[in-house]
Chains A and B, each alone.
Chain A
Amino acid sequence: MNERESRGRSLTGARIVWECLLRENVDVVFGYPGGCLLPIYDVMEEYPIHHVLVRHEQGAAHMADGYARASGKVGVAFATSGPGATNLTTGIANAMLDSVPVVFITGQVASHLIGSDAFQETDVTGITLPITKHNRLVMRAEDIAPALREAFAIARHGRPGPVLVDICKDAQQKEAIFEWRDVPDYPSLRPRPGVSTADLERAADLIRSAERPVILAGHGVIKSGATRALVAFAERTGTPVASTLLGLGGFPASHPLSLGMMGMHGEAYVNQAIQNADLLLAFGMRFDDRVTGNLKSYAPRARKVHVEIDAAEIGKNVAVDVALVGDLRVVLEALSPLVSEKRHVEWLRRIDAGRADTKGRDILHQEDDGNLYAAHVLHDLWEATKGEAIVVTDVGQHQMWEAQYYAHETPRSLITSGGLGTMGFALPAAIGAKFARPEAEVWVVVGDGGFQMTQAELATIQQEGIAINIAIINNGFLGMVRQWQEFFYEKRYAQTPMLSPDFVKLADAYGMTAHRVTRRRDVIPVVRAARKSGAAVLIDFRVVQEEAVFPMVPAGAALDAMIRRPVLQDEEAVA
């Protein structure tokens, strides 16, 4: 049905849902049917939108999230009422914490049953209120189109985020005139006024007078599409760039001004640079505790300029000298002409001096002792994929090794659960990423623990026939928790050793090719073979069991109070 035919006509609420999705340019939805969504599923075949059947609704949420992160578009997930909707919640919270635009559509019991504890009734808008940007219960067919139109607008606007629309079953069944009206003029959806010239001047003054500046590049760089503006700004002002975990890829890792990741598992010289800086330029980041360490001792000598789209982030964790509230790319383009060309030769030399020490401790200098080290796997994966893959990681040690050893050159090439730290995210999120960018090579990097949380989605991969490669970094432990137990709980490994199935046989049961790798020399050949196969391949990397991620800032400690790996090679040999 084309647009002219359907608008102004009487349609069932279920068809209105699909008409709205078409108009929002949705090409794929991730979901799971159920009683209160049956009317929507019943007419699905009439519309050119692909539906991916998941194995658990959490998977649908993460797929829509991964789709949104890889594409920059709004992801869409469906779930039925009650348990279907509650299963989404982890994924909704994940999208909320990382500001990912996703529209969740849930079925709800018929409107006359609301509040009666009917079968599979749950207060979904109540449950999801604190983990959505907005949500709405729709009880009438005529309210569906306005609610969905508003949902997409809210999800995209400003700092993006998840929006949930809960639609009663009878509203899906009844008919209403389908109209596609503009979203009401909500003040919270109006464009923000531009930043003031006075504030820009104040920021420019601080930049001009800084001798030891550092840019802190966050997720906002990627969301705003500000990479080019950031590179230009950094080059013009000669300022080194440290990235948050979610900021990786927003500034090319190979750029001479790139420092790499900051924070709890950032390299020592990066955190030292932040602590020694006299000016921090926080671009699209929110001073999360994982990047600041103890706030009392955080960057004590630095003035701070915060460029951020969400005014409620200004001064939340760290007091700043100048706040520029707005879209990062727009602000940078306004700020750049006000600052002059500058070089910080001495400052960069000082930072570089720290790099030599870091190199000396780098596990890449660990000789091949017959054991397989996770960091080596990640490094070799980077080499074998030429750094060009979209890597989707789970949460834990493997995530940090990926961040340290897989150098990301382009935005949206790393997809990971940052704020919520959701184990089980990687596999479904990678499916979403593959649908967003079918031409891209997608790698899942996941631990043996997280993989088992959502491994049921292997069936989804096979049912959809998509080629995703899965690297399980299998150390037989819940590795990051084990590391905390090693460092802070005297090695009492309470419930962190974990039995896993034979992942190769498991993959085989799903009809998926799989390999086991136990020696470093096999990593690159197996990865290369997987890349060429054109189908999904799972690789079980059996890595050293009790290996820790270094360096590490203990939670609550000062950013430069790091636990570091012992020196493996002296600095002179490195230099």
Chain B
Amino acid sequence: MRHTLVARVFDEPGVLNRVASLFRRRAFNIESLTVGQSEAKDYSRMTVVVDTARVPARLVEESLRKLVPVAEVRDVTDLPTVDRDLALIRVRCVPADRAEVAQLADIFRGRIVDVAPESVIVEVTGDGAKVDGLVDLLRPRGILEMVRTGKVAMLRGVTPAA
């Protein structure tokens, strides 16, 4: 089972290292970890997706909470959220196939953002399943390179952000 935890952390040196060190030391299995700016100047925001087959999510949550620079942790797995993952996919593509690739990307609301003689870069944003779907369709053409940001999540509605 995968759990998604959202954490607000003080933006200070080493905070990412502390979180990563905790996961390594406790043998918590990270599927993805993203960190970036938040609405507040002194805080960063992390979205962590953990595999909880071996360790209960609550334990991961409480362990994170013990880190001094961690201001807030919330398990949003079962809450309504907007989830996004961004992927850049360099796919093999001769000029004759460009239209077809563009069309595929368009179905997933992605687009071609770079063109080379033998390849294109497709950009797509969406929840993990949607990105997976496009990746699966492009794979037979030959994916030369790919980068995914990992999941970021935000609660829907009026609930205050985690």
Contacts and interface: CB of A to CB of B under 8 A. Distances in A.
* A and B found bound together: yes
Interface of A: 125-126, 129-130, 133-134, 137, 154, 186-189, 310-312, 314-316
Contact of B66 (A125, A137, A188): A188
Contact of A130 (B25, B58, B59, B71): B25
Given A125-B14, A129-B17, A129-B18, A315 B59 contact: yes
Nearest to A157: B68
A186 B72 CA distance: 10
Contacts, number: 42
Nearest to B67: A188
Contact of B62 (A129, A154, A311): A311
A369 B21 CA distance: 55
20 contacts: A129-B14, A130-B25, A134-B68, A137-B13, A154-B68, A186-B68, A186-B69, A187-B70, A187-B71, A188-B65, A188-B66, A188-B70, A311-B62, A311-B65, A312-B59, A312-B62, A312-B63, A312-B65, A315-B56, A315-B58
Interface string B65-90: 11111111000000000000000000
A393 B25 CA distance: 29
Nearest to B65: A188
B148 to A, nearest CB: 28
Nearest to A150: B68
Given A187-B70, A311-B62, A314-B58, 8 more contacts: A126-B17, A129-B17, A133-B66, A188-B66, A188-B67, A188-B70, A310-B66, A312-B59
Contacts of A315: 56, 58-59
Contacts of A137: 13
Nearest to A154: B68
Contacts of B56: 315
Interface string B125-144: 00000000000000000000
Interface centre among A125, A187, A316 (most CB of B within 10 A): A187
A510 B14 CA distance: 45
A16 to B, nearest CB: 21
A35 B57 CA distance: 46
B25 to A, nearest CB: 5
Nearest to B14: A125
B68 A188 contact: yes
| Interface magnitude class on chain B | 10 to 19
A28 to B, nearest CB: 26
A133 B63 CA distance: 11
Nearest to B56: A315
A154 B66 CA distance: 11
Contacts of A154: 68
Contacts of A312: 59, 62-63, 65-66
A188 B62 CA distance: 10
Contacts of A316: 59
Nearest to B18: A129
Interface centre among A125, A126, A311 (most CB of B within 10 A): A311
Contacts of B13: 137
Interface centre among B59, B68, B69 (most CB of A within 10 A): B68
Contacts of A125: 14
Contacts of B72: 187
A189 B13 CA distance: 19
A315 to B, nearest CB: 6
Contacts of A188: 65-68, 70
Contacts of B65: 187-188, 311-312
Interface in B29-79: 56, 58-59, 62-63, 65-72
A195 to B, nearest CB: 15
Contacts of A311: 62, 65
Interface string B4-29: 00000000011001100100010000
Contacts of A186: 68-69, 71
A388 to B, nearest CB: 38
A433 to B, nearest CB: 28
B68 A314 contact: no
A102 B25 CA distance: 22
A490 B21 CA distance: 40
B62 to A, nearest CB: 4
Contacts of A189: 68
Nearest to A311: B62
Given A130-B25, A154-B68, A314 B17 contact: no
Contacts of A126: 17
Contacts of B66: 133, 188, 310, 312
A126 B66 CA distance: 18
A178 B139 CA distance: 62
Interface centre among A126, A130, A310 (most CB of B within 10 A): A130
A187 B18 CA distance: 16
A188 B64 CA distance: 10
B22 to A, nearest CB: 8
A520 B54 CA distance: 53
A209 to B, nearest CB: 27
Nearest to A187: B71
B21 A130 contact: yes
A189 B65 CA distance: 10
A183 to B, nearest CB: 10
Contacts of B69: 186
Contacts of A310: 62, 66
Given A154-B68, A188-B68, A312-B66, A129 B59 contact: no
A215 to B, nearest CB: 24
Nearest to A134: B68
A327 to B, nearest CB: 16
A314 B62 contact: yes
A314 B56 CA distance: 10
Contacts of B62: 310-312, 314
